[in-house]
Structure 1
Amino acid sequence: MTAPAVLVEDLHVAYGKTWALDGVDLTAAAGSTLGVLGHNGAGKTTLIRTLTTLVRPTVGRVQIEGLDVADATAVRRRIGVTGQYAGLDEFLTARENLELIGRLSGLRRTARARADALIDRLGLDEYATRRVGDLSGGSRRRIDLAASLVGSPSVLFLDEPTTGLDPIARAGLWDVVDELTTSGTTVVLTTQYLEEADRLADHIVVLSRGRVAARGTPTELKRIVGGKVLTATVPTGQLADLPFIPDTDHRVDDGRVRVSVTVDDAPAATELVAHLHRGGIAVADLDVTSPSLDDVFTHLAHAGAHR
């Protein structure tokens, strides 16, 4: 059996008396994408910093392609990292940034060729000769991703790489991640966008307060919720008349609120819609859908962790 590209066993990381990570276990197979989800403060960034040798484990085993992260030099030769903010020199062009990183990485005479190859691979030709400081946020993120690939990493860590990007730029970065995993690169992705994890991740780990709250494929996680999700927009004044207690409610305007509730199956959803009609609830919009990762998050918040 092939060893996992990323292996974490019983990982604990303490900052003083606070456990940022408290017994985390996870693996990522070579050539796959592992999504790491969780609310702010759940431990995502600490996990990435530990996996990339920036934080030493207090307890536990952490390996990248069979190498312990304590062997930082060897591990860093195998990984690439794109953080939440672009780490580029704004006064240099995109090509100059990539070439500089290549030289600092020891490529020397081949640094320029590697920069050109990445510019071609990621479709960055229109930005190659422009100063990074003059580019949009989405373009800079793509160049930052290219920078993390200069050393040809076999494991790539993306820490909320699409934060602040518009939908088109985000979709473009998703395409690049697909290409990387297809070519054999292992990707570990943290994100606040559940749609992003659903689209990219082969497996997902959900962190909560430094522990694993749930794990599995996107489809497996959605089965935690099960059934159907009914979402409706109703008058604020009729909230108390609903035949159910909403799982979520979001105010649409001064007079209406959008509510959602999870039911066991499609017939139960149909019956609930009939109750709304018989109760005289003035429903403006109504949807019945299968659960999403957003619903998984809401369910975990209400029901607690699923190991």
Structure 2
Amino acid sequence: MTEPDRLFLADLARAAQAVEACLDGLLSPEPGADEIARPSRLLAAMRHGVLNGGKRLRPYLVLESARLCGGDRQAALRIAAALECIHCYSLVHDDLPAMDDDDLRRGQPTVHIAFDEATAILAGDSLLTLAFDIAAAPETPLSGESRAALVVALARAAGIGGMAGGQALDLAAELSPPDEAGIVTLQAMKTGALIRFACEAGALIAGADAATQASLRRYGEVIGRAFQIADDLLDITSDAASLGKATGKDEGRGKGTLVGLRGIDWAREELGRLVAEAEDLLSPFAEKGETLKAAARFVANRKN
């Protein structure tokens, strides 16, 4: 393992701890300003869906891209927490019987199994709403204009033209498998949009110039594609114990993936190409970009 790779893993672990501490505070039993009460069962379900481990890769990308651009650390931490609320809400809802119908997430019972379906729906709704509360609130130390820009970018990454729309396409794929172009669009929306936002958010937090913002946005698109290809590869080659969730489900439901269309050898070659492109995009940042280069390698080579 190279020194940048070791530094990345240490940074990823520290970022996960910081984000989890932030989320723990945001999901405390005490009502916030203008809240009336926080029902205990709903709060417990939200915490189960969020504070259950995970690599916290998306929050890390927010924190690291902000550091790269000289952005405010506390602002980046809150935006990272908001993004993780969005990501975790999507997992809670994706796991529901009406969607992917999964019983296991990160090696633990999914929220609708640990609680019930209605509570899981409300927990997802509440996490989604909380995300925009966090990003827009004055406790996020940015100008109102910057907070608004981040809220808009996050909404577009999460909504009909991003993650939620991608999930709709994913459900439709069970009835009519898409062609290769359709798979690329579906995956760019369902998986890639939030990863792209995570990388672009650092530039928005720092008020970076347009060229820097474009480079980090493209970097996010590239590693988002790599993340999904690696995920599809793991779905074929790994097992549930290693992955922390069921495997082989896309094939079982007749859904097409790029790995299924092109094969395992193609997938591994494409991951190498995407890592090289990601590294090239970070070359203007010199040594400051080494940990994000390591992040690209981690995304492509991960085992779970």
**Same fold, TM exceeding 0.5?**
no
Category of TM-score, reference length = shorter chain: under 0.3
TM-score (norm 1): 0.27
Structure number with greater Rg is 1
User: As a proportion of its length, which structure holds more helix?
Assistant: 2
User: As a proportion of its length, which structure holds more strand?
Assistant: 1
TM-score (norm 2): 0.27
